[in-house]
C-alpha cells in the first residue's frame, strides 16, 4: 500500500526532504514536487481535483488529502486529512485488504 501526499507549489525538494525526514517516511511513500503543469496532471490522474473548475483553480480551496491505494487490488481513494480519525483509519484498512 502507498500513500501519496499532494504538495503546494511552494514545496521545494529541500522542504519535502525535511518533511520526509521529520515524519520517517516508509518505503513506497512518495513526496513529489515539480512544475505546476506536471503536478496538475498528476493530481488529475489520481482523481485529486474538484469538478468545479473555478474551485479547482483556486489554491486556497485545496484541502489537504492523502491518496491511499492497494497496488495488488488496484483500489484507490483520496481522503481529506481533516476527516475523523476512526473513519480515516477504517477506510485505509478496507482499501488495504486483498478481497
**pLDDT tens by residue, 20-77:** 788 777 777 777 777 878 878 887 887 777 888 888 888 777 667 777 888 888 888 8
Q: What is the pTM of this model?
A: 0.49
Query: Which burial class, exposed, middle or buried, applies to 59 when counting CB atoms under 10 A from its CB (0-12, 13-18, 19+)?
Result: exposed
Pairing of strands 2-5, 30-31: parallel
**Residue indicated by cell numbers 518533511:** 19
Q: Which residue has the higher pLDDT, 75 or 2?
A: 75
Amino acid at each position: 500500500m502507498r500513500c501519496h501526499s499532494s504538495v503546494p507549489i511552494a514545496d521545494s525538494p529541500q522542504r519535502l526532504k525535511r518533511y520526509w525526514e521529520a515524519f520517517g517516511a516508509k518505503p513506497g511513500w512518495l513526496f513529489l514536487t515539480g512544475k505546476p503543469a506536471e503536478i496538475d496532471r498528476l493530481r488529475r490522474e489520481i482523481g485529486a481535483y474538484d469538478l468545479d473548475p473555478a474551485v479547482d483553480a483556486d489554491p486556497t480551496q485545496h484541502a489537504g488529502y492523502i491518496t491511499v491505494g492497494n497496488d495488488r487490488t488496484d483500489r484507490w481513494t483520496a481522503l481529506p486529512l481533516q476527516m475523523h480519525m476512526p473513519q480515516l483509519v477504517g477506510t485505509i484498512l478496507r482499501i488495504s485488504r486483498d478481497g
